[in-house]
């Protein structure tokens, strides 16, 4: 018998009552598995409960003595087939990984594990130089693989790693003996072909394929520069997909590949015919205008779930998906997929009825990149 994952979720205005409900469900499930001795807990709760984070962590430790705990706050949290978005709720998953298989880290105890194959990372979006910190953490892993996201909250923005932390990065690193698979699912539709940035400085893009960026964008959207109201409206609606030179920008289906980071257009410079992007952009970067698209997001989500199942089942020694972590963007939550919990129901139908928890993030982390409008689905194999 391999590693066991058990999960539960609950909605209640009282944070401790919500946790008690989840714990009761988990105790019942654990009782049916006499050998189950949990070592690691993943706890995510909505920002309605952020004020009670310390009390939640203390109650979790009391209910499951000796269990290490990671997690954090989100405007929404996820479980198998259900989300709690903009309402009080929490999701809790326990597993019995060997204690030697994982190591927690945070600002006061940096990651110092040489054999880590991957790490679940939670971060405060207000942390200075966050992208650089994510890159540095990725560089410490032999594989470079990170997955996770930025905590999201209208109150306290915090993360958990056997303590409550505001600011910086925290999480858990896994050793090579923890088999896992991970995929990024995109949520935007390209509006045209990728172009190459040929002149840029900081977050200003001056030229695409040798042409001034601003008129090229207006041309692509068929907008008259003199119609300022339409220009401003288009600026609010248009996003851009950025892909490093040499990486795959589009898949065969014409969708963005996993290496593309979606960013907002945040302004324009009519004098210099430039566009301002919510990220630093280097010459050579592949650049494509895009927009959020529910159908494209739904198709891509089904695709990555199917790929994860097929890869697990078609290996030389087929594996079972024992548990999963799903981090999605706050911009994908609520009724974005057509109805409340629709996104998580797609995952459940496509991936199967496996224990799953996660949260809706202010930015998603995969490998060494920080994404937006994506989902990062990671599965643990038995």
> Per-domain residue ranges for the chain?
5-186+296-381, 189-292
Running DSSP on this structure, what letter comes out for residue 339?
S
Comparing 42 with 234, which gets the higher pLDDT? 42
Predicted confidence (pLDDT) per residue in 177-223, tens digit: 999 999 999 989 898 889 999 999 999 999 999 999 999 999 888 88
Arithmetic mean of pLDDT, 301-329: 90
> Hunting for tokens 């609950």 — which residue is that?
10
Residue 246, pLDDT score: 85
Collapsing DSSP to helix, strand or coil, 235 comes out as: helix
Has residue 252 got a pLDDT over 80? no
Say how many C-beta atoms besides its own lie within 10 A of residue 207's C-beta: 18
> What single string gives the DSSP state of each residue in 58-95?
HHHHHHSTT-EEEEEEESEEEETTEEEESSS-EEEEEE
Predicted confidence (pLDDT) per residue in 53-75, tens digit: 999 999 999 999 999 999 999 99
Has residue 107 got a pLDDT over 60? yes
Residue 113, pLDDT score: 79
Arithmetic mean of pLDDT, 132-144: 92
Residue 255, pLDDT score: 83
Collapsing DSSP to helix, strand or coil, 1 comes out as: coil
H or E element in which residue 7 lies: strand 5-10
Residue 316 binned pLDDT confidence (cut-offs 50, 70, 90): low
| 85 touches 76 (CB < 8 A) | yes
Arithmetic mean of pLDDT, 288-317: 89
Q: Which residues of 232-241 are buried (b: 16+ CB within 10 A; e: fewer)?
A: eebbeebbbb
Has residue 114 got a pLDDT over 90? no
CA distance 311 to 318: 9
Running DSSP on this structure, what letter comes out for residue 168?
S
> What single string gives the DSSP state of each residue in 299-315?
HHHHHHHHHHHHHHHSS
CA angle 297, 6, 104 (to 5 degrees): 85
Has residue 338 got a pLDDT over 90? no
CA distance 134 to 364: 11
Query: Packing angle between helix 15-31 and helix 53-63, nearest 10 degrees?
Result: 20
Arithmetic mean of pLDDT, 278-294: 93
End-to-end CA distance of the chain: 8
Tokens of 295: 């159908």
To the nearest 10°, report the CA torsion of 278, 281, 286, 288. 20
| 294 touches 332 (CB < 8 A) | no
Has residue 27 got a pLDDT over 70? yes
- The CATH number for 189-292, chosen from 2.40.30, 1.10.10, 3.40.120, 1.10.132, is 2.40.30
Arithmetic mean of pLDDT, 253-259: 82
Has residue 104 got a pLDDT over 80? yes
Arithmetic mean of pLDDT, 308-315: 87
Residue 271, pLDDT score: 93
Residue 6, pLDDT score: 98
Residue 315, pLDDT score: 66
Q: For all residues of the chain together, what is the average pLDDT?
A: 93
> Hunting for tokens 């499951």 — which residue is that?
64
Residue 323 binned pLDDT confidence (cut-offs 50, 70, 90): very high
Query: Packing angle between helix 294-313 and helix 342-351, nearest 10 degrees?
Result: 30
Collapsing DSSP to helix, strand or coil, 8 comes out as: strand
Has residue 172 got a pLDDT over 80? yes
Residue 220, pLDDT score: 87
Running DSSP on this structure, what letter comes out for residue 17?
H
Residue 123, pLDDT score: 98
Running DSSP on this structure, what letter comes out for residue 260?
P
Arithmetic mean of pLDDT, 85-114: 94
Has residue 240 got a pLDDT over 90? yes
Q: Which residues of 292-303 are buried (b: 16+ CB within 10 A; e: fewer)?
A: bbeebbbebbbb
Has residue 360 got a pLDDT over 60? yes
């Amino acid at each position: 018998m391999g590693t066991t994952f058990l999960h539960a979720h609950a909605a209640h205005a009282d944070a401790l009552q919500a946790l008690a409900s989840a714990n009761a469900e988990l105790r019942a499930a654990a009782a049916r598995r006499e050998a189950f001795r949990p070592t690691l807990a993943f706890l995510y709760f909505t920002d309605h409960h952020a004020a009670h984070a310390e009390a939640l962590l203390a109650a979790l430790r009391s209910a499951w003595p000796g269990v290490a705990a990671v997690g954090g706050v989100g405007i929404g949290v996820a479980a198998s087939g259900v989300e709690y978005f903009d309402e009080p709720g929490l999701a809790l998953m326990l597993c019995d990984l060997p204690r030697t298989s994982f190591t927690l880290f945070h600002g006061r105890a940096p990651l110092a594990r040489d054999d880590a194959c991957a790490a679940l990372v939670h971060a405060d979006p207000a942390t200075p130089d966050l992208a650089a910190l994510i890159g540095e953490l990725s560089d410490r892993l032999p594989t470079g693989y990170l997955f996770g996201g930025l905590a999201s909250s209208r109150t306290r923005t915090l993360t958990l790693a056997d303590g409550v932390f505001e600011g910086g990065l925290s999480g858990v690193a896994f050793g090579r003996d923890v088999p896992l698979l991970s995929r990024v699912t995109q949520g935007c539709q390209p509006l045209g072909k990728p172009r190459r940035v040929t002149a840029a400085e900081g977050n200003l893009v001056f030229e695409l394929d040798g042409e001034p960026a601003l008129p090229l964008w207006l041309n692509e959207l068929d907008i008259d520069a003199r119609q300022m109201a339409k220009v401003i409206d288009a600026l609010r609606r248009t996003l851009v997909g950025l892909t490093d030179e040499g990486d795959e920008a589009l898949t065969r289906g014409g969708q963005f590949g996993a290496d593309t980071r979606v960013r907002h257009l945040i302004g324009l410079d009519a004098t210099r015919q430039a566009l301002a992007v919510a990220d630093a952009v280097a010459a050579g970067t592949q650049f494509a205008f895009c927009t959020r698209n529910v159908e494209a997001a739904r198709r891509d989500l089904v695709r990555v779930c199917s790929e994860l199942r097929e890869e697990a089942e078609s290996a030389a020694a087929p594996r079972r998906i024992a548990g999963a972590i799903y981090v999605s963007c706050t911009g994908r939550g609520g009724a974005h997929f057509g109805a409340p919990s629709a996104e998580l129901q797609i995952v459940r139908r496509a991936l199967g009825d496996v224990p799953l928890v996660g949260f809706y993030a202010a930015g998603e982390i995969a490998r060494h990149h920080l994404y937006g409008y994506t989902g990062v689905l990671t599965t643990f194999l038995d």
